[in-house]
Amino acid sequence: MSFLWPQMLWLLLALPACVAAYVWLLRRRKAAVAFASLSLVREAMGPRSGLRRHVPPALFLLALAAALLAISRPTAVITLPSQFQTIVLAIDVSLSMRANDVLPDRITAAQAAARSFIEDHPPRARIGIVSFGGSAQMVQKPTDRSDDLIAAIDRFQLQRGTATGSALVVSLATLFPDEDIDVESVVFGRAGGAGGRGVAIDKPARPERERPAPVKPGSYTSGVIVLLSDGRRTTGPDPIEVAKMAADRGVRVFTVGFGTVEGATIGFEGWSAYVRLDEETLKAVAEITRGEYYHAGTAADLKKVYQELNTRFVMERRDTEVTSLFSLGAALLAALAGVLSLAWFGRFGR
């Protein structure tokens, strides 16, 4: 458990002060009783004798403790229904996806797993599909129509190059269509560049628009990005820089590294190349955005990853403020203390 306002925990020092005051009152009453007649003492102590007389004050002390904790705004990790409404699948269609270290080949296995994900996607969620090779493009706008999504996946065409950063920018523009993200400059090389240098990538297409104020990473609950890649970025903006852009908007990116870590040699139209999974970058993107990284070395692994993501997007563990629970507990404890005091002693207090 953590607290949004931990500085307010100093108020808990009032609890030992209350205990000290209660003990002082008991001793004062005991001293006063010592001068009273025996009959008066019995009348005063009758039903209130024993430990029972301390129960209402103890409950009130617990109520005060709960109220003081509520002021500090406690948070806890709780499993709750997911609020994600839009899921953007960004899938690598670079030529390295022809590698057959995953049978029958990487692209065929990736398409099959994506179809399964779509068929079992969370209720009320819309899915958009971005494909990326040397550039990135939205091949299907977010929709809940499974037939349209599967048709878009079946139309994948392999490309030279791997623009992982461009895929993330297009995905962000899909989640935030009103922000006027300058996708064209990023995708076609007028921002960031192959080395991630040049004009800042996180700027609106129109100068009069202001860049949105950063929010807490992982705090955006209306959309998420799932990025699948099997190789290293060869063009486009640095995905690490774009991940920071996503984090500033609170968007989580779940990354999937597909293929063997050892890599494979592919050939196409008379040339061959060795391709290897860039786990380091994918892990960094997930960490920056408070997402999660998955590795899928086989077609079966990839299908399991997508099944786990589907489950994740139905029920999700997230840090949630539980101030209301502490406030409710304080109110119930205070009410119980009052009821017991009235029932046992005919009035509030001793």
Residue 45: pLDDT over 60: no
Q: What is the pLDDT of residue 203?
A: 66
Give the pLDDT band (50/70/90) at residue 10.
Answer: confident
Residue 46: pLDDT over 80: no
> Which residue in 287, 233, 223 sits closest to 255, CA to CA?
287
Residue 279: pLDDT over 50: yes
Q: What is the pLDDT of residue 11?
A: 84
> Using one digit for the tens of pLDDT, what is the confidence trace for 59-82?
888 988 988 888 888 887 766 655
Q: What is the pLDDT of residue 263?
A: 62
| More confidently predicted of 21 and 40 | 21
Domain boundaries, the chain: 2-77+322-345, 82-297
Cβ-in-10-Å burial (0-12, 13-18, 19+) of 349 comes to exposed
> Using one digit for the tens of pLDDT, what is the confidence trace for 83-114?
668 999 999 999 888 887 788 888 999 999 99
Is residue 253 within 8 A of residue 285, CB to CB? The reply is yes
Q: What is the pLDDT of residue 78?
A: 65
What value does the mean pLDDT take over residues 141-170?
93
Q: What is the pLDDT of residue 257?
A: 92
Is residue 281 within 8 A of residue 239, CB to CB? The reply is yes
Q: b/e for 252-283, b at 16 or more Cβ within 10 A?
A: bbbbbbbbbeebbebeeeeeeeebebbeebbb
Q: What is the pLDDT of residue 108?
A: 93
Q: What is the pLDDT of residue 281?
A: 93
- Rounded to an integer, what distance in angstroms lies between the CA atom of residue 254 and that of residue 171? 12
> Using one digit for the tens of pLDDT, what is the confidence trace for 281-311?
999 999 999 999 999 988 889 889 988 888 7
Residue 36: pLDDT over 60: no
Residue 40: pLDDT over 90: no
Chain-centroid distance, C-alpha 28: 55
User: Which stretch of DSSP H or E encloses residue 330?
Assistant: helix 323-345
Q: What is the pLDDT of residue 206?
A: 63
> Using one digit for the tens of pLDDT, what is the confidence trace for 164-219?
999 999 999 999 988 878 887 776 665 444 444 444 566 665 665 667 788 999 98
Indicate the CATH number for domain 82-297: 3.40.50.410
Q: What is the pLDDT of residue 195?
A: 42
What value does the mean pLDDT take over residues 217-227?
91
- Rounded to an integer, what distance in angstroms lies between the CA atom of residue 13 and that of residue 11? 5
CA distance readout (Å), 137 to 65, 128, 141, 185, 198: 55, 11, 10, 13, 22
Structure tokens at 50: 């024993």
What value does the mean pLDDT take over residues 323-332?
88
Could you give the count of Cα atoms lying within 13 Å of 92 in the half-sphere of its Cβ? 32
> For the chain, what percent of residues have pLDDT higher than 70?
77
Residue 224: pLDDT over 70: yes
User: 0.85 cut: is pTM over it?
Assistant: no
